[in-house]
Structure 1
Amino acid sequence: MKLLVRNLPRTMSEFQLREMFQAHGSFQYCKLVIDEITGESKGFGFVEMLVEEEALAAIAAEDGKKIGKEKIRVKVAE
């Protein structure tokens, strides 16, 4: 199941994003979206988890979690 993760701190690395979701189960990949011009994070990314139940648990645990000054948003990617 592919998840969209928004409102990430622009300082967050792809490694940190991966660690956050590894705690909830196995995943296929994660990708932090990077601005091609500046090389900085655009503040969102995608995570694909292998097991739907683990993905739903990750959404429940991480959606609304405060990181820095913002609350991140996690939902199923469409």
Structure 2
Amino acid sequence: MKLLVRNLSRSTTEQEIRILFSAHGEVNECTLVLDQATGKSKGFGFVVMPNENEANAALAALHETRVAKNRIRVKVAQD
């Protein structure tokens, strides 16, 4: 299941996101969307978790939690 993670701090790294979601299950892929001109985070990214139950658990546990002073939003990504 692919999850969209929004409202990330510009300083949050892919590794930090991976660790956060790995606490709830296996993470296949974690990508932070970067600005092509500056190379800096745009404040959102995607996490792919192969197990739907684990992905739903991560979504429920992490939506509206604080990460680096920002309240992140997690939802199922639309294709």
Normalised by the size of structure 2, how large is the TM-score? 0.94
Q: Distance in 2 between matches of 1:16 and 1:66?
A: 13
CA RMSD of aligned residues (A): 0.8
TM-superposed CA distance for 1:7, in Å, is 0.3
Q: Which runs of 5+ in 1 are unaligned?
A: none
Instruction: Give me the identity figure in percent.
Output: 55
Q: Distance in 2 between matches of 1:20 and 1:69?
A: 15
The number of residues matched between the two structures is 78
TM-superposed CA distance for 1:66, in Å, is 1.3
SS at 2:25's partner residue? coil
Q: Distance in 2 between matches of 1:36 and 1:45?
A: 14
Cα deviation, 1:4-44, whole Å, max 9, x if unaligned, reads 00000000011111111111101210100011111100000
Normalised by the size of structure 1, how large is the TM-score? 0.95
